[in-house]
Amino acid sequence: MTVQQAAGPDPYFPANGDSRYRVHRYELALDYRPGPNRLSGTARINAIAGRSALPEFQLNLADFKIGRVRVDGRQPHYTHRGGKLRLRPAKPVRPGAPFTVEVHWSGNPKPVSSPWGGLGWEELEDGALVASQPVGAPSWYPCNDRPADKASYQISITTPSAYAVVAGGRLLTRTTKASTTTWVYEQAAPTSSYLVGLSIGKYQTVLLGDPGPGGVPQHGHIPAHKLPEFSRDFARQPRMMELFQELFGPYPFDEYAVVVTEEELDVPVEAQGLSLFGANHVDGARGWERLVAHELAHQWFGNSVSIADWRHIWLNEGFAKYAEWLWSERSGGRSAHQLAVAAHRLLSSLPQDLKLADPGRKSMFDDRLYQRGGLTLHVLRCAMGDDAFFRMLRGWATLHRGGAVSTTTFTAHAARFAPEPLDEVFRAWVYGTRLPPLPEPAPQIPARPTHPPTNAGPA
């Protein structure tokens, strides 16, 4: 596992996170009442100081009422303003020393504001969900909110028993007392704060295929009336899982869950071991199957292999975009090259002022970044050949599993697998802005699809 901590504040979100320490475990105990939208919680945070002493440090937390606060069992001096909980321990934390923070908070959770609207905890008509990318995690719990600071999580959530709670990770226990149920989930794999997923609603749970010995358990949590459409739209997800394990290496977590909410979402939401879809993404006609592939691919690229800071977001989104094309190619749809040609045609008609390696905060979710990221991987495939390219992808997902990486990390990694230097490819596609021509010929496409064509499968 490679963990590459950013040396300082994230250049896109300098107010988020604190690079002077790292967290290795969060234990969250929450109580949520959907009617009044009332959340109360306790966080126990185990962390380690960096190379310098910590006379003070900060966590990110939205506008909640703060109760008990302790650092190593002692009451610190603290302030809580502007989404920052600043703590000054009774005694500075020594360089490299472990320390524990305990925070109690309560209030009415709501999304935090961002250039893309509200992010984080969202109250639904009957339940709630968390959609935190990139800076929404402080809307519901105190955290060191930077993508490179990855930790394990245990989350205990008590709700009225009519509601189901779905979180990323393995469900350890579910205990009902009187009218409430407590759900306890464990996510042992290192997880970025924005990728801690959560959904509270009235769902029916279904198993997506039989994982068999050594397989990956996959579950769907959906409103009962959406089950017929869901059964068709997600029927091929187990085949996607098989293909992506073939191409990218073993699935990096214990389980995978998908949730469909009663409400519409602009886009699906990725989380660690979990993806959230809106009711509008379930149509019974596989109209959004590319997004099913996209969110699943993020479990390797973006979740397991995370980014050191938000400048490198193309390593998440470009890889997931190319996974869409690989699924199409290997399931009997359009080839990756055909889809690359279409993406190139689209980008050629749009402004060419986006640098993949550093798009700027305003453009980090621009569709051009997704498309150009996918194209860059396709160009690498053309340059390297299928054998070297897919060995490179599997090596990337394996070597950096659980870690955080940068564009420089990737370019150095890819170069080790290439038969010829890739400097010009990266200069033009990753560090340049003008759209280069798409190379020919296309990489070798399998003569027969590995999986049945797109019109196959259960109705």
pLDDT at 426 (0 to 100): 98
pLDDT at 212 (0 to 100): 80
3-state secondary structure at position 188: strand
280 and 263 in contact (C-beta within 8 Å)?
no
123 and 1 in contact (C-beta within 8 Å)?
no
63 and 107 in contact (C-beta within 8 Å)?
yes
What tokens appear for 225 in the block? 């009336």
Backbone angles phi, psi at 102, to 5 degrees: -125, 130
Nearest to 416 by CA among 435, 400, 393, 439: 393
435 and 344 in contact (C-beta within 8 Å)?
yes
Q: Rounded to whole angstroms, how far apart are CA atoms 6 and 3?
A: 10
pLDDT at 217 (0 to 100): 95
Q: Rounded to whole angstroms, how far apart are CA atoms 300 and 244?
A: 9
- pTM, two decimals, is 0.93
Q: Rounded to whole angstroms, how far apart are CA atoms 366 and 373?
A: 11
438 and 384 in contact (C-beta within 8 Å)?
no
Handedness of CA 363, 84, 149, 293 (dihedral sign): negative
pLDDT at 8 (0 to 100): 78
Nearest to 377 by CA among 366, 391, 393, 363: 393
Nearest to 306 by CA among 252, 256, 356, 265: 252
Burial class (CB within 10 angstroms; exposed 0-12, middle 13-18, buried 19+) of 7: exposed
What tokens appear for 75 in the block? 């009451």
Burial class (CB within 10 angstroms; exposed 0-12, middle 13-18, buried 19+) of 337: buried
pLDDT at 254 (0 to 100): 93
State how far Cα 188 lies from the chain centre. Answer: 15
pLDDT at 408 (0 to 100): 98
pLDDT at 7 (0 to 100): 61
- Helix, strand, coil: what percent of the chain each, to 5? 25, 30, 45
Residue count (the chain): 459
- Tokens 């602009």 locate to 266
Q: Rounded to whole angstroms, how far apart are CA atoms 458 and 228?
A: 11
What tokens appear for 442 in the block? 């296309």
Alpha helices in 304-355 (DSSP H): 314-330, 336-348
Half-sphere exposure of 322 (CA within 13 A, CB side): 24
pLDDT by residue (tens digit) across 65-99?
999 999 999 999 999 999 999 999 999 999 999 99
pLDDT at 451 (0 to 100): 43
219 and 169 in contact (C-beta within 8 Å)?
no
64 and 112 in contact (C-beta within 8 Å)?
no
**3-class SS string, 153-212:** EEEEEEEECCCEEEECCEEEEEEEECCEEEEEEEEEEEECHHHCCEEEECCEEEECCCCC
43 and 28 in contact (C-beta within 8 Å)?
yes
Q: Which residues contact 164 (CB under 8 A, 6 or more apart)?
A: 200, 201, 202, 203, 205, 221
Q: Residue 390 belongs to what H/E stretch?
A: helix 386-399
Give pLDDT tens digits along the chain (459 positions): 444 444 678 999 999 999 999 999 999 999 999 999 999 999 999 999 999 999 999 999 999 999 999 999 999 999 999 999 999 999 999 999 999 999 999 999 999 999 999 999 999 999 999 999 999 999 999 999 999 999 999 999 999 999 999 999 999 999 999 999 999 999 999 999 999 999 999 999 999 988 888 889 999 999 999 999 999 999 999 999 999 999 999 999 999 999 999 999 999 999 999 999 999 999 999 999 999 999 999 999 999 999 999 999 999 999 999 999 999 999 999 999 999 999 999 999 999 999 999 999 999 999 999 999 999 999 999 999 999 999 999 999 999 999 999 999 999 999 999 999 999 999 999 999 999 999 975 445 443 344 443 333 322
Backbone angles phi, psi at 262, to 5 degrees: -70, -20
Nearest to 42 by CA among 82, 100, 81, 93: 100
Measured CA to CA in angstroms, residue 368 lies from 132, 176, 222, 346 at distances of: 22, 48, 32, 9
pLDDT by residue (tens digit) across 354-369?
999 999 999 999 999 9
pLDDT at 308 (0 to 100): 97
Cis omega (within 30 of 0) for bond into 134: yes
**Which domains does the chain possess?**
16-199 (2.60.40.1730), 203-288 (3.30.2010.30), 306-429 (1.10.390.10)
